Chain A
Amino acid sequence: MTWNWNYVVESLPAIFQGMWITLGLTIACYLFAMLFGFVWTFVRRIPWRPLQMIIAFIMEFIRSTPPLVQLFFLYYAWPMVPYVGLTLDPITVAIIGLGVHFSTYIAEIYRSGIESIDKGQWEAATALNLSLKDKWTKIILPQAIPPTIPMLGNYLIIMFKEVPLTSTIGVAGMLHMANNFGSKNFAYLEPLTLVAVFFLVMSYPTAVLFRKLEQRMNRRFDKNNPTGKIDKGVVT
C-alpha cells in the first residue's frame, strides 16, 4: 500500500464537508455545556440540602457514565421510554448528549472559580449594601472568571476530540465522511490520515489562542499590579 496524492485530493471535498459539521457541532455542544454549566452551578447553590444532594448525585452519575453510552441511550433507547420518550435527530442528540455530559465538568470549573473568592469579598459587598445582582456581576464574577479561562479552553479542545463519537449515531462529521469515503474505495489510509492531521491543525491553534488569552489576562493584572504581589489582605 502506498500513499496516493491524487486520492488525497479526491477525498478532500468529502472531508471538508464533514469538517464543518464537526466544527459546528463542537461549538454548539460547547455553548450548550457552558450555559447548562451555569444552571448546575446556580441550582447547586440553593441552600436546601435534599436538592443539593440530588443534584450532586445526578452530576456524578452523568460524569461517571461514558459519553458513548449516553449518546446511544438518547438515540436508541429514549424513543422507547413510555410517555416522555422522544425521537430526536442525530445532531440534536449529539448536542444534548455531549453538551450535558461536559456541562457537569464545566460546572465544576465555575464552582472552583466562585469558591476561590474569599468570603471577605462577599462580606464587604454586604457591608456596602450592594444588591445580590451587583454582588455577582460587579464583585464576584469579575474575579472568578479570568482564572477559569485556561481550563474552559482545555474543555473546548477535549470536546472537539470527543465529537467523532457522534459518528456512531450517524452524524456526518469529519470522521464519518472519511470512513465512508474510505469504504467506497477500499482505501482508508489517506482519508483517515487527513482527519488526524485536521484535528491536530485545529486543536493546536486553539490551545495557543487560549494560552494567549490567559497571558493577556495576566498582563491585565500585571498592569494593575506592577509589584507582582498578590493581594490576600495580608500585611505588607
Chain B
Amino acid sequence: MAKPIAVYNDVHKSFGEVEVLKGIDLEIAPAEKVALIGPSGSGKTTIIRMLMTLEQPTSGTIVVDGQYLWHMEKNGELVPANEKHLRQVRGDIGMVFQHFNLFPHMSILENCMVAPINVKGVPKKEARQRSVEMLEKVGLGDKLDDYPSQLSGGQKQRVAMARALVMRPKIMLFDEVTSALDPELVGEVLEVIRDIAREGEMAMVLVTHEMDFARDIADRVVFLDEGRIAEQGTPEQVLENSESERLNSFLSRFRS
C-alpha cells in the first residue's frame, strides 16, 4: 500500500459519559474509495466528522498526509492543535453533508466561489471559471445564478459536491448524502458521485446505506458496529461472503 493519505490510530470518542467510538484503527490510501456501513448510531458520522475537524477525538491520533490533524509537534512533544494548524491540515479534506448546508444567501455560483477566493486566494476570474466548470460537470451549468431555495434536493446536493470539489481536496467525505432525498432524486446524485470516483485521484470515504452503490464503487467496505470496526474487506468479502452474524443480519435489512 502506498503511503496512506489518512490514518486513524486507536481513536476513541466519548460524548459525556458515553463512549461512541471504542478504538478505531483505519488507514485510507490515496485515491482509495472506502464505503463505511453499519447500523444507525454505530458511529459512522462521528468517524468522518473527526477527519473534517468538526468533532475532536477524546484520545488517539489522526494523521492526514503525514501530518497530525488534532495535534502538532512542539519541542518534540505532541500538543493539541491550534486553529492555525487545523486550517493548514484541513485544506486537504472536503465534505458533503446529509442536509446539503448550502449558503442560502448566495447564488449557487457564489456558493462555489466563496472558498477558493477567500481561502486559497484564487483570483476571482479563475475561481469563477473553475466553479462554472464544476457546476457544469454536476449538470447544473444552466443554474449558475439560481439560489439554493430554487433547487430540488438532488440539485442542491450536486451543488454541495461542486462546492467541495472546487477546493480540490485529497479526501472527500460523504455522509449519507442521499438519505435526505426523495427516492426518485437519489439516482442523479449517485451518478455524479460515480463520475467523480471514476476520475480516480481523490480518496473518498462514503457513509452510505446504498449497498449496490457501495459494491459498485468501493475498493473496500468497512462495517462499523457499536463503535468498533467489526469487518472490512473488498465489497465481495464484506457484502457477500461474510460469516459474521451481526453483519449478515444488518445486510439482510437491505435485501428485498
Contacts and interface: CB of A to CB of B under 8 A. Distances in A.
Contacts of A1: none
A124 B118 contact: no
B52 A126 contact: yes
Interface in B93-111: 93-95, 97, 99-105, 107
Contact of B114 (A128, A235, A236): A128
B154 to A, nearest CB: 9
Contact of B119 (A128, A143, A224, A225): A128
A134 B100 CA distance: 20
Contact of A131 (B101, B119, B148, B151): B119
B153 A235 contact: yes
A134 B150 contact: no
Contacts of A233: 99-102, 156, 180
Contact of B167 (A120, A129, A131, A231): A129
B149 A224 contact: yes
B149 A231 contact: yes
Interface residues of A, number: 28
B85 to A, nearest CB: 12
B9 interface: no
Interface string A136-154: 0011001100000000000
A115 to B, nearest CB: 16
Given A230-B149, A235-B153, A235-B180, A121 B101 contact: yes
Given A128-B163, A130-B119, A230-B149, A120 B99 contact: yes
B246 interface: no
A46 to B, nearest CB: 15
Given A120-B97, A120-B99, A230-B149, A131 B87 contact: yes
Contacts of B53: 126
A129 B101 contact: no
Given A124-B160, A126-B90, A131-B118, 11 more contacts: A123-B52, A126-B52, A127-B54, A128-B167, A132-B83, A139-B114, A225-B147, A233-B180, A234-B99, A235-B180, A235-B185
- Across chains A and B, which 6 residue pairs bring their CB atoms closest together, nearest first? A233-B99, A124-B101, A128-B115, A120-B101, A224-B147, A231-B149
Interface of B: 52-54, 83, 87, 90-91, 93-95, 97, 99-105, 107, 114-115, 118-119, 147-153, 156, 160, 163-164, 167, 180-182, 185
30 contacts: A118-B101, A120-B97, A121-B101, A123-B52, A124-B160, A126-B53, A127-B97, A129-B87, A129-B115, A129-B167, A130-B114, A130-B115, A131-B119, A134-B114, A138-B118, A139-B114, A142-B105, A143-B103, A143-B104, A143-B105, A224-B105, A224-B107, A224-B147, A225-B149, A226-B150, A231-B148, A234-B99, A235-B180, A235-B181, A236-B151
